[in-house]
Amino acid sequence: MKSRRRPYSEQRPIDVGGGVWSVPVPIPGNPLGYTLVYAIESPAGPVLVDAGWNHPEAWLALRDGLAAVGMDVREVRGVVVTHFHPDHAGLAGQVREESGAWVAMHEADAALVKLMWSFGEGAQRDLQADMLRRAGAAKVEVEEVTAERPRPPAPPDRTLHDGDLVDLPGRALRAIWTPGHTPGHICLHLEDTGRLFTGDHVLPAITPHIGLYPYDRSDVDPLSDFLDSLAKVADLGELEALPAHEWIFQDTAARATEIRTHHEEKLVRLTALLAEAGEPLTIWETAGRMSWNRPWEELPAMLRGMAAGEAAAHLRTLEVRGVIRRVPGVDPVHYALHS
């Protein structure tokens, strides 16, 4: 199963049956390669699940890919976005301009998009720089991470809540709120065919990024949310997964359980790491001692920033579970085992 990774150049739009088509849309310059945009047929025009990265090449792939399966982008009725990230929501605005389609996302992600537009470019950079500094990043790392920021996606016209049916006449497509990867991530259950559009929540071989931003906040716990959302999806039973990356696979429940185990094991290793350190660590120091897909020293600044977010999310869950604590009165924040 893990050998099914193929580059974008080998991807084609395909009829996946049951009135659903998958259209690969490239993510230029990104190792993920492509987003799988799904088009669901309805008597009132197709509805898309996600839209792809906002880039001229991606736009052509979406438009031509839909045409290849007999659909006209100008007839798209709506775009339901699994979450606000640029490789999913990026092109939704352009589809809306071409077709007059509605764009829908969960209210929690819609609120984030609104917040992004309300900040000026400079204010966003200052906030990010401050967050990095408080996590213990070096000055040069702060400068590198904040250098490049993508444009926020187009604001949606409609917001969805857990359990809502998407406006797709003649079919039953239900929003399942699965916070974790983002606060408003949704999976979409196509109840008339027993399939689940999983977005980034459940992918066949990789796991989505679960980060805490700002790194030291103490009002949320996205990893626990994610673990709960995996249990929620597993409770839906054995469904065919139509994910936004990689490939279609069987049995969402089994994969969701496997991903939960992966994070629980990571929490155990992180606890051991803090015990071995024998002294309180900053979030940045913790991230530097965790294992990533390449050595910390070789990670580019942008990926270090994400790794620190992932470390912070795991630290926060351990804190909520009462395993570790923040050392009071120290800046930047240091974590230590509960004695």
Q: Interaction with Zn ion in 238-257: which residues (CB under 5 A)?
A: none
How many chain residues are in contact with Zn ion, going by CB under 5 A? 2
Helix residue ranges per DSSP H, 209-251: 222-234
Return d(Cα 24, Cα 19) in angstroms, integer.
17
* Min CB(106)–Zn ion separation in Å: 13
The C-alpha angle with vertex 169 and arms to 77 and 182, in degrees rounded to 5, equals 65
Q: How many C-beta neighbours within 10 Å does residue 207 have?
A: 18
* Min CB(252)–Zn ion separation in Å: 17
50 touches Zn ion (CB under 5 A): no
Return d(Cα 288, Cα 291) in angstroms, integer.
8
Q: Which of 50, 200, 221, 285 binds Zn ion (CB under 5 A)?
A: 200
Return d(Cα 85, Cα 81) in angstroms, integer.
9
- How, if at all, do strands 240-243 and 195-199 pair? parallel
Stretch that binds Zn ion, among 111-119, 159-167, 194-202, 297-305 (CB under 5 A): 194-202
For Zn ion, give the closer residue by CB, 85 or 189: 85
Please answer whether residues 112 and 184 qualify as being in contact, where contact means their C-beta atoms are separated by less than 8 angstroms: yes
* Min CB(222)–Zn ion separation in Å: 13
Stretch that binds Zn ion, among 61-69, 77-85, 98-106, 268-276 (CB under 5 A): 77-85
85 touches Zn ion (CB under 5 A): yes
For Zn ion, give the closer residue by CB, 87 or 221: 87
For Zn ion, give the closer residue by CB, 88 or 304: 88
* Residue nearest to Zn ion according to CB distances in the complex: 85
For Zn ion, give the closer residue by CB, 245 or 334: 245
The percent helix, strand, coil of the chain (3-state, each to 5) is: 40, 20, 40
For Zn ion, give the closer residue by CB, 85 or 316: 85
Return d(Cα 127, Cα 116) in angstroms, integer.
12
Note the residues at the interface with Zn ion (CB under 5 A): 85, 200
